[in-house]
Structure 1
């Protein structure tokens, strides 16, 4: 369990900004579960989901860097949540899976040229004697723009993407489970993303994208 409590290159739980953020948003709960739930919602809603933010640079995905930018994609937000949890002495690790995303924007779809999101990341938290999954990726306003249910987390049940949206359309389908890790397997994940999305990494203009605005515009009405 010590590995799931330790600081790593990416999960830099001892960074002053991580300590301050985790203390502020752990709430007044007296149990690990209560504090974990509070931190989940802080990372989910205070850090904007931005799939245009993926950079092939190691420093860009350290928890402290994600916190400073106040945005990130699924893996970045999972890394930040894990760091905040470890800062509060709550064991946490990272889980990864390939997911087929049936809800996307036209611009991102054109860049990715697929609806398969490889190495989608989430956190796994050790609470009350077992590991539970927590996915803080989509902030509340983005869920509203896409007309999907926001992922809630109660510290007891796994919080993973819904298979359908509010209208009954397909939303997320988990395809491949890559397992659990005590630190981000950066080289493996980056290699998989570069292979899956060559156009994305060639098009640096993507950084100007506003995924939330695109989702709201395309799903209006």
Structure 2
């Protein structure tokens, strides 16, 4: 599989993505250092927002996401993958089902559940091994929820904030759907429609949702 080339979704040759990675084009930086810096930038620059759903493929191009100030887990993962590939670091999308346990009242109200699926994260190939990264929750949101920001050290997976500062369970991974060569639009739509029937039954042909 090719995890370095641009695609329709990972359009890293675009001006928007090149602008993001430009500050990291420094020969003195290692791939690990670049990956850590890009992870932190994507984690904190885009505010996490799970309440906007779309099944229009144009909305999932990295260059389009880069123009926005917020995004959900898949949006942020796509941007990070595009940036990593732009810096010659192999990267691919990885999907799962997760369950949130803190600050879930609005999630349950809008989705009918505190289970989020598909949840997007990133696989990145750094120093000879694949690592899983989840740049989803920006630091300011974590501070509000009293959860430590999820840091990435360039050597270990960074996917799970299991507990808050007071020991309350925060996130739980329920199911792993594996990695995909490109953004799997059909799988994502089928998965969401299956898990959130209360949203989609009354809007069967709708492809944009602001919850």
TM-score scaled to structure 2, two decimals? Answer: 0.91
In structure 2, the partner of 1:212 is none
Q: Which residue of 1 is the match for residue 96 of structure 2?
A: 97
Moved more, 132-141 or 190-199: 190-199
Kindly indicate whether residue 29 of structure 2 is the aligned counterpart of residue 30 of structure 1: yes
Shift of 1:102: 1.1
The SS at the match of 2:163 is coil
Matched, 1:85 2:84: yes
Classify 1:170/1:31 alpha carbon distance in 2 versus 1 (closer, same or farther; 3 Å): same
Distance (whole Å) between structure 1 residues aligned to residue 177 and residue 83 of structure 2 = 23
State how 1:65-144 maps to structure 2 within 5 Å: 65-144=64-143
**Larger deviation, residues 105-114 vs 117-126:** 105-114
Distance in structure 2 (CA, Å) of the matches to 1:187 and 1:14: 25
Counting matched residue pairs gives 205
Asked if the contact 1:29/1:35 (under 8 Å) is kept, the reply is no
Which 5+ residue runs of structure 2 have no aligned equivalent? none
Q: Tell me the secondary structure at the aligned position of residue 69 of structure 1.
A: coil
C-alpha distance in 1 between matches for 2:154 and 2:94 = 16
Q: CA-atom RMSD, angstroms?
A: 1.8
205 and 122 in structure 1: CA distance in 2 versus 1, 3 angstrom threshold: closer
Distance 1:136 1:187 in 2: 23
Aligned partners of 1:26 and 1:36 also within 8 Å: no
Q: Which runs of 5+ in 1 are unaligned?
A: 207-221
Bigger fraction of residues in helix: 1
Tell me, in whole angstroms, the C-alpha distance in 1 between the residues paired with 2:166 and 2:25.
Answer: 34
Most deviating of 13-22 and 37-46:
13-22
Q: 1:25 Cα deviation (Å)?
A: 4.9
Worse-matched range after superposition: 152-161 or 21-30: 21-30
C-alpha distance in 1, partners of 2:94/2:79?
Answer: 13
Deviations 1:162-218 (A, max 9, x none): 221111111111111111112111110121112212344559452xxxxxxxxxxxx
Whether the 8 Å CA contact 2:53–2:210 is kept in 1: the answer is no
Instruction: Give the drift of 1:139.
Output: 0.4
Deviation of 1:43 after TM superposition, in Å, equals 0.3
Contact kept in structure 1, 2:96 and 2:178, CA below 8 Å: yes
